[in-house]
Amino acid sequence: MVNLRSLLLSLAFTFLPTLTLAQSEPSTPTVNTTNPTIDPCTTLGSRNGTNITYTDVSDCYKFIPFNRAQANTTLTTLYTLYNDFYVFRDASRNPIQLPPFSNESVDILGELDRIRGLGYANDFQFHADVRAAVGSLRDVHASYEVNCYTAYSFVQPLYLYAPVINVTQYVRVYKDNLNRNMQLEDCIVTTIDNVDALTYLRQAADELVHYSHDPNVRLNAVLTSQRYRNITGDIIESPGEFSRSRYLPKAAFVDYQLKCANSESPLMLRAEWIVEKLTNAEFDDRESYVENVCRAEPRVLPTPPSPPTRPSPGSPHRPSRTSSARRTSSHTPPPPRHTRTVHPPKRRQTVYAKRQYPAEPSPSPSPSLEPEPLPSPSPSLSPSPSLSPLPSPSPSPPIPSLPLPAQQYTHTQKTAISSDTTAFYQSLQKPTLGIMVVHSFAGGLPESEFDTILAGLSDLHARNVTQLLIDLQVSEGGDVEFATRLVQMLFPNATVEGLGIGVDMRVNPSIQRLSKAILDEPQISGAPYDARMFVSLEDNNRHRYNDNSLFMKSTATIRFGRSANYTNPTTLFIRPLPSHITSAVSTFPWTNNPTQIRLVTNGLCTGACGIAAYLLSSVQKVQPYGIGGSQITPLSMFSSPGSLGTTLETIQQLYADHGIQSPMRDLPYKNRVPFSPPSQLYINNLASTIEETK
């Protein structure tokens, strides 16, 4: 097995180990065969979170009857959301053909209408189809999840990855979490459910992963990867979406055929799903399950507004509609800062970077930091036995064994300085090389976060580091302001105005009423319909909005055959870095010097992470390197179209807080339904893929 971290430090990369989970796909309604005289939810509730089987959960889920009235409420609300609020409603109808992207045309409104016309044997199948329809948009800010059918997780004991060995890519066992005496680590997985293993995982990735248009990034998402754990400051394994999922798999078990170095005959194994309870709700039958796990609580409305009064002379704010408990000050506070989860825009131009592979794997030396083993699932959570050998086919030649990859950067020394978002390492083999692991783009952190990052970079400089490797493998979405300012720490010659990325948003009369009310109530957060968050780009006269003209001066635009109103081009307001930071970083040898900086990603970099990857590679011309995916195939640097993400629940609460009737009804079930109000549309020369070469 290839030592991934040592390869990373030498800038010669192979595929990350990864793992995937089985999950239900869009289904054709079938007849419910559950015995109607027995309530399987009673059985499931009696398990008390232990010894739960796949059948226990499946039977309870499918015992909940389909409710046509609830389904109509759900579909009507989602139709309004995607028709009147979702900015990519029309862009999603345009298929992306630029390799390696694979994106079919999706008419989400047509899909919702199609589902409305179907009949269902149970409620579970209806929600599975809705989830699949929304997931087909492949937008990380467009998904449909209800608590009712994500109350349990399903885990496979085998973790898988797909390294390239001697110019050939195999699926292998990264770790066996239950049967260590079987010595399955590093065995080649030849088939899964009687299908070629790599083919099976690619197909599973297309079904399970809904946030990337790149099938190779989706493959990375279903395999085992490594992530930085900020609490303990080490790198741990992440099993991937094939081996751990909150969604009901298709069957109670998975069949594997393995080829191991210690056996001449192929080994056939059947691995049952380990089930873990995620909800704290108690129930003892179907009705109490629906009431306690599924049903959404009635929305609590704010205190009725007081009669309008004329402000006293010099009063800095208008009377609030909300109770005094919501007010943070008797004076007008500065416009609230919000977590801006922003995704990179649709790809327009391909910029390539070389990906290298080692000619021959070599044994991995001991890691410089002691790895912490991933705890095995508790046997009490699994039926026994979880792995059962099946009859073996004819013998086959043995295969060479490979060392397991380390769980830390090998041949490195971690510095004493780390922050809530970054960690720093120095290469021992090449002491002039430093590594900045950006493991989070979280928003809402104090300004001192950038002082800590400065301290980490200063420490590398004091160690005579002259080259910087930026690792974005473990990063996801977050705050676009943080991403922009982080890039400015490396390239202070670039202003935040120059790093800003243009957006536009859908507009309708309901949004206009809401945005006006948000400006009238500065004490209440109004993202993403708070105009003060944005900067005007009209007539090249950049200024921050202090009125509602952004939403009131909309423009009718036809996109892919449909007309809708959009705001004029705008961009998010970003605060510049303090001068003491830009002055301090100017002394570093890599500052404003893209030849001394490298970027590494596995394509799972989404949202604000994607913005940072774009600004570094395409705007500042930093060379990117990719890890994972499929052999001899380009890999995209980041995933999902650009947007400022929010949720249906957030928008509904905004309407309620400001006393405005929402055009959408609340969904019957507890839910998480994110979507994209604004889009990132005005990026030129977008670096979208990393070319793979031997």
Mean pLDDT of 307-322: 35
- pLDDT tens digits, residue range 339-352? 333 333 333 222 22
- The least confident of 123-127, 335-339, 664-668 is 335-339
Q: Which residue has the higher pLDDT, 239 or 13?
A: 239
Q: What is the DSSP string of 625-668?
A: EE--SSTTS-EESSBS--BB-EEHHHHHHHHHHTT---SSPPPS
- The least confident of 292-301, 521-530, 613-622, 673-682 is 673-682
Asked, for residue 317, whether it belongs to a domain, the answer is no
What contacts 180, CB < 8 A, 6 or more positions away? none
492 pLDDT band (50/70/90 cuts)?
A: very high
Mean pLDDT of 533-537: 89
Asked, for residue 380, whether it belongs to a domain, the answer is no
pLDDT at 36: 57
Q: How far is CA 151 from the centre of its chain?
A: 20
Last residue of a domain, one of 244, 277, 310: 277
pLDDT at 406 over 80: no
- Neighbouring CB atoms inside 10 A of 43's CB total 16
Q: HSE, CB side, 13 Å, CA atoms: give it for residue 45.
A: 16
pLDDT at 391 over 80: no
Looking at the fold, whether 197 and 256 belong to one and the same domain comes out as yes
Last residue of a domain, one of 277, 301, 321: 277
- Is the CB of residue 165 less than 8 Å from the CB of residue 187? no
Looking at the fold, whether 235 and 92 belong to one and the same domain comes out as yes
Looking at the fold, whether 53 and 95 belong to one and the same domain comes out as yes
Asked, for residue 206, whether it belongs to a domain, the answer is yes
Looking at the fold, whether 89 and 130 belong to one and the same domain comes out as yes
Cis peptide before 100 (omega within 30 of 0): yes
- pLDDT tens digits, residue range 570-590? 888 899 999 999 999 999 999
Asked, for residue 479, whether it belongs to a domain, the answer is yes
pLDDT at 119 over 90: yes
Asked, for residue 296, whether it belongs to a domain, the answer is no
Q: Kindly report the CATH number assigned to the domain that includes residue 608.
A: 3.90.226
Backbone φ and ψ of 465, nearest 5°: -75, 135
Mean pLDDT of 42-51: 90
- Is the CB of residue 684 less than 8 Å from the CB of residue 345? no
pLDDT at 26 over 80: no
Quick one: which H or E segment has residue 566? Answer: strand 562-566
Percent of the chain with pLDDT over 70: 75
Mean pLDDT of 139-162: 94
Mean pLDDT of 429-458: 93
- Is the CB of residue 473 less than 8 Å from the CB of residue 604? yes
Calculate Rg over the CA atoms of the chain: 26
Number of domains present in the structure of the chain? 3
- The least confident of 235-244, 253-262, 298-307, 557-566 is 298-307
- C-alpha to C-alpha distances, 193 to 89, 243, 252, 350, 385, nearest whole angstrom: 37, 14, 12, 37, 19
Looking at the fold, whether 471 and 551 belong to one and the same domain comes out as no
230 pLDDT band (50/70/90 cuts)?
A: confident
Looking at the fold, whether 462 and 540 belong to one and the same domain comes out as no
Helix axes 197-208, 215-222, angle to 10 degrees: 100
Helix (H, G, I), strand (E, B) or coil at 239: coil
Mean pLDDT of 553-577: 90
Q: HSE, CB side, 13 Å, CA atoms: give it for residue 493.
A: 9
498 pLDDT band (50/70/90 cuts)?
A: confident
Mean pLDDT of 32-53: 81
What tokens appear for 694 in the block?
A: 């031997």
d(CA 438, CA 419): 10
pLDDT at 558 over 80: yes
d(CA 486, CA 166): 38
Domain that residue 581 falls in: 412-499+576-641+684-690
- Is the CB of residue 7 less than 8 Å from the CB of residue 13? yes
Mean pLDDT of 330-340: 33
Backbone φ and ψ of 197, nearest 5°: -60, -45
- Is the CB of residue 198 less than 8 Å from the CB of residue 10? no
User: Whose CA is closest to 433, among 488, 471, 472, 473?
Assistant: 471
pLDDT at 642 over 70: no
The mean pLDDT of the chain is 78
- Neighbouring CB atoms inside 10 A of 690's CB total 29
pLDDT at 443: 83
What contacts 4, CB < 8 A, 6 or more positions away? 14, 16, 17, 226, 405, 406, 627
d(CA 137, CA 676): 11
pLDDT at 565 over 90: yes
d(CA 422, CA 469): 12
- pLDDT tens digits, residue range 646-670? 899 999 999 999 999 999 999 999 9
pLDDT at 422: 93
- pLDDT tens digits, residue range 78-116? 999 999 999 889 988 887 667 777 778 899 999 999 999
pTM over 0.75: yes
pLDDT at 143 over 50: yes
Last residue of a domain, one of 254, 277, 300: 277
Looking at the fold, whether 614 and 668 belong to one and the same domain comes out as no
- Is the CB of residue 152 less than 8 Å from the CB of residue 57? yes
Asked, for residue 403, whether it belongs to a domain, the answer is no
d(CA 120, CA 669): 17
- Is the CB of residue 496 less than 8 Å from the CB of residue 485? yes
Asked, for residue 585, whether it belongs to a domain, the answer is yes
pLDDT at 97: 63
What tokens appear for 28 in the block?
A: 């054709």
- pLDDT tens digits, residue range 158-213? 999 999 888 899 999 999 987 667 889 999 999 999 999 999 999 999 999 988 88
- pLDDT tens digits, residue range 473-486? 878 778 888 999 99
Looking at the fold, whether 114 and 216 belong to one and the same domain comes out as yes
Looking at the fold, whether 607 and 539 belong to one and the same domain comes out as no
pLDDT at 349: 29
pLDDT at 668: 95
- Is the CB of residue 441 less than 8 Å from the CB of residue 609? yes
Looking at the fold, whether 430 and 569 belong to one and the same domain comes out as no
What contacts 114, CB < 8 A, 6 or more positions away? none
pLDDT at 525: 67
pLDDT at 372 over 60: no
Q: Kindly report the CATH number assigned to the domain that includes residue 92.
A: 2.30.42.10
Backbone φ and ψ of 419, nearest 5°: -130, -175
Mean pLDDT of 435-446: 90
Largest CA distance in the chain: 92
Asked, for residue 436, whether it belongs to a domain, the answer is yes
Type of residue at 239? P
Looking at the fold, whether 196 and 76 belong to one and the same domain comes out as yes
Cis peptide before 391 (omega within 30 of 0): no
What tokens appear for 650 in the block?
A: 């957030």
150 pLDDT band (50/70/90 cuts)?
A: very high
Looking at the fold, whether 149 and 205 belong to one and the same domain comes out as yes
